[in-house]
């Protein structure tokens, strides 16, 4: 597979990322063929590590996926999280808050879906909608959503202190790539159901969303809950990048299988 090694670097605390300068078509010097081979190995390793996590039951894993519309959140869940046993993995999507959810603090609906020890939770959108959509569409006063960065940091620190490993991925596609994916949804009848005219209103605010994401990375990428900006125009590279970060993070937990019960050597199965 050549001499290239995929380098995954989180946003440093306080670092300002200019998304206009991030190449969404980056491949890390790898070929598609190489990437698919490494992905296959990563998925096998993810399965082994998840079993170990479940057996040990000392750690949990929370994966957060954010992106612009058509950014590949669903596809990433299909092609990367397929490496996890669904019995120990919970996927939840966060849409527009319900009336009951709006009657509580903005993190109330999030906390109940965080993973217990031994399990994996995957968020398709997340609590960050409250500093993205809410901010761009002016659904709350500036003072309200500004305070939420600190609330989010405290919330994620609480989870991390409870042995939850948090990995946050922004799947970065270019505006041109989004246009192509939208057009495909229009052109292919079997994809029509995925096209939402309302997504065009969001697209019209592209620059506002880029700035909102940049602020979220700068304010909320922490050692205990890092953000990763994933070049996502090339789907194979996106999948490779995300799976590599997951494997590396889980391996750093140094998990061990629990000791076997005493007396197993004396058991005779007849």
Q: List, as one string, the DSSP characters of 170-239.
A: EEE--HHHHHHHHHHHHH-GGGGGG--THHHHHHTTHHHHHHHHHHHHHHH-BTTB-EEEEE-SSHHHHH
CATH number at residue 73: 3.40.50.300
- pLDDT exceeds cutoff 80 at 224: yes
d(C-alpha 127, C-alpha 132), whole Å: 9
Strands (DSSP E) found in 27-184: 60-67, 89-93, 120-124, 164-172
pTM of the model: 0.95
Question: Would you place residue 2 in the very low, low, confident or very high pLDDT band (cuts 50, 70, 90)?
Answer: very low
Q: What is the pLDDT of residues 101-118, one digit of tens each?
A: 999 999 999 999 999 999
89, 124 contact by CB (below 8 A): no
Question: Would you place residue 4 in the very low, low, confident or very high pLDDT band (cuts 50, 70, 90)?
Answer: low
- pLDDT exceeds cutoff 80 at 5: no
Residue 2 lies in a domain: no
Residue 128 lies in a domain: yes
Q: What is the pLDDT of residues 33-43, one digit of tens each?
A: 999 999 999 99
Residue 245 lies in a domain: yes
Minimum mean pLDDT range among 33-42, 138-147, 194-203, 224-233: 194-203
Minimum mean pLDDT range among 2-6, 83-87, 89-93, 186-190: 2-6
Residue 261 lies in a domain: no
Residue 3 lies in a domain: no
Residue 267 lies in a domain: no
Residue 11 lies in a domain: no
Higher pLDDT, 264 or 212: 212
Average pLDDT, the chain: 95
Structural domain total, the chain = 1
Average pLDDT of the segment spanning 254-259: 94
Q: Which domain covers residue 40, as residue numbers?
A: 19-253
Q: What is the pLDDT of residues 54-69, one digit of tens each?
A: 999 999 999 999 999 9
- pLDDT exceeds cutoff 80 at 23: yes
Phi, psi dihedral angles at 61 (to 5 degrees): -130, 125
β-partners of residue 167 are: 63
Question: Would you place residue 3 in the very low, low, confident or very high pLDDT band (cuts 50, 70, 90)?
Answer: very low
Residue 158 lies in a domain: yes
């Amino acid at each position: 597979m050549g001499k290239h090694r995929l380098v995954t670097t989180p946003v440093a605390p306080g670092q300002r990322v200019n998304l206009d300068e991030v190449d969404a078509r980056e491949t890390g010097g790898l070929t598609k063929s190489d990437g698919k081979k490494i992905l296959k190995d990563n998925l096998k390793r993810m399965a082994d590590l998840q079993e170990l996590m479940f057996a040990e039951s000392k750690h949990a894993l929370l994966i957060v996926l954010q992106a612009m519309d058509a950014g590949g959140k669903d596809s990433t869940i299909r092609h990367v999280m397929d490496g996890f046993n669904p019995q120990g993995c919970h996927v939840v999507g966060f849409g527009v808050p319900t009336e009951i959810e709006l009657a509580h603090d903005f993190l109330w609906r999030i906390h109940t879906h965080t993973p217990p020890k031994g399990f994996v939770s995957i968020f398709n959108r997340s609590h960050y909608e409250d500093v993205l959509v809410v901010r761009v569409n002016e659904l709350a006063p500036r003072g309200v959503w500004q305070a939420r960065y600190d609330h989010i940091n405290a919330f994620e620190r609480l989870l991390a202190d409870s042995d939850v490993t948090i990995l946050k991925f922004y799947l970065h596609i270019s505006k041109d790539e989004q246009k192509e994916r939208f057009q495909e949804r229009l052109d292919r009848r079997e994809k029509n159901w995925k096209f939402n005219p309302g997504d065009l209103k969001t697209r019209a605010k592209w620059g506002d969303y880029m700035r909102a994401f940049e602020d979220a990375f700068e304010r909320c990428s922490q050692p205990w809950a890092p953000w990763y900006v994933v070049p996502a125009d090339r789907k194979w590279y996106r999948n490779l990048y995300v799976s590599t970060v997951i494997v590396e993070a889980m391996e750093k937990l140094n998990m061990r299988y629990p000791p076997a019960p005493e007396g197993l050597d004396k058991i005779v199965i007849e």
